[in-house]
Structure 1
Amino acid sequence: MQNRVKLPCGLSTGSGPRFNSRGSLVTCSAAFCDNEATHILEFVPREGNTERWGAYCENCPERRIAPAAEVDAARERGSRLQGQDFDLTRLPLSDEHWRYREFTDEERAEIEQIKVGALVETYIKPGVFEWHPPNGQGQGEHQVTEPHFDWFEELTPERRLERQVLQLVAAHDGGLEAQRLGKLLERTHRNAWEPVYDTTWDLARRGLIEVSPKPDDPEVKPCTYMMTSAGHELADEIREQARARGRYWRQQQPDLPQIEEIDNTEGRGERTVTWHFHNLVTASGSLSFATWTRGEHFVRLWTPEAAFRDVLAWRPRRLVSSDSVQELAGAWGPVGRRISRHRIFPAPDV
């Protein structure tokens, strides 16, 4: 199984010779493909900029592109025969939105640096590998670089909602129903739901989620959202970026006091954990806060008035503790206070 390794230009490839079975110098980005990377896989949305997904071998068996009509027919046939048990991740990519292209000069030059040994696969932290000069050349041994993580308030409303929807769908292994998605985002009224409806269909067109059955208008109607393998891959990357950002906050401010821990369970057991942050304080001293309830696979950020602000999530199959959730919530800022509660927030019906 290949690592995802980033080049200085931001392009992802597969593993180098230390971590693939063939000893290839640079492999395809697909997890189980040892072929040499030869082309760039791109997603072409109906609107907006083309997205670069990584370096792959042409016609990669894990990222095969097929005519849109063939993909639609296979999806309908599988859903008809197997219903919700049909594995959507086995479908090829639709040529309506996906394509392979040749390397640019910049991309090709960095690939060539790998082949001549000027860049080697370097372990950064669990799950994170990058191409760097050998023996740390050009990098300070203790240098702390700012990790890439888009601060939610700096994203456009469309991109922020897209990330939030993707995170919440990823947190529900059996699929996320539309009504629950609306409640989790506090967007149950029609006007507030319409952007969510548009976002889910944009994510579906990009091959990141599946919608079943397909609602015919932007009402909160019964349907279920399921992740695809490409969607999980992107959600996992966002989560790892968030964890790296949380560690970065603390490294940049080592003189902050120890996290204050408060037990408000009254001996009845911890069901919800609340975190306050050093940086998320209004001029009047009011605090934004994050909450996680045991059994859930996401942590949400709230305004001081308890209005939804953001969400980060993980795959349900991952074992988590309140400490690991705190590490993820640290993407919003250095944690100053942690409160254990028996009372669930928000109310259990949300």
Structure 2
Amino acid sequence: MPDDEEQEGQVMLPPRPLKASKGRGAVSNLQGRFDKQAREEYDDGWPREEEEPRAWKTQVTEEQAKTILSRNSSPDLPFGVSLNPYRGCEHGCIYCYARPTHSYLGLSPGLDFESKIFAKVNAPELLRRELGKASYVPESIALGVNTDAYQPCERELRLTRRILEVLQECEHPVGLITKSALVERDIDILAPMAAKRLAAAAVTLTTLEPSIARTLEPRAAAPARRLRTIRTLTDAGIPVSVSISPIIPFVTEPEIEHLLEAARDAGAVHAHYVVLRLPWEVNPLFQQWLQAHFPDRAQRVMNRVREMRGGKDYDSDFSTRMKGEGVWAELIRQRFQIAVARLGMTGRGDRFKGLDTSLFRRPLVIPPLGSKAKEGSAGQMDLF
């Protein structure tokens, strides 16, 4: 390890996109805040390595979760109970506020978050046990709020579908939040539930520009495909909200009115928005992304973000974290409200709380702890 005198003349190098990160959102595998050792890249005079792995392959690890329902009392969230079948998300959205959770696993909130996925394979069993408790009081469950419940590995694992089967059996209300067209697979469950006011969906729409979407949220459905999903769900009788989030100054912010109009034309009836949030490691990761893809406006973007956050990169206060504060935050609010009113939509923030909880019935069969029920089985388990 060189001493202080030797380090004095060395030049610290800025983060650079890894060749292996092509098709990913993060441009580095930034260290988590709980890592005991810090690493920094500097120019030691030797030629830099040019050869890197061709791809950052996705690894899905099965895990046995201990609990499955998360509860919150945040006044700015439209739900009190949520369920996430997966940890990490292959969609790779650079702005994802869930990225810092990978730090608790000793992994990076950067490329690790979108390539090392953990599947809670006992989620349907845990949910059935939770709903069967005598003390359980039904409340709309928001499905897929931290990480998308319909990310690519769901095609094979089908955890989300099995969870919906449990909720349908118990006539329990659910609200889905997704960027994936895979939700259309489960219309056969969601449509009958929606007819009883037991299901609603929210589709996140960030930009209509494919070139921006390819780097901002590289493995999520393309904007046009999401609009088709809104139309398909609407035609099936499932009420759809559109989430215009995050609004990124000078990147997606100019599209606010166009996004709302496209969503309304596709069938969305409610709309809400969130301005860019940069908690913990999301902040440096997003700024790396800005420098890699929008170097010409990176400083302007961050200046505007700070203007809406009281001079800071981020403020976690419940009253301002979703919408920001100040002149520019107020301008966005007015633009959004005027567009929503003009288009005949509503800006409801309680889109999942309007679902019906009165039909709830406890599951007839509750599998013993640790048992493995077969996929699709809703009846009594074998006696012997």
TM-score by length of 1: 0.25
Structure whose residues are more often strand by fraction:
1
**Which has the higher relative contact order, 1 or 2, with Cα contacts under 8 A spaced 6 or more apart?**
2
TM-score by length of 2: 0.23
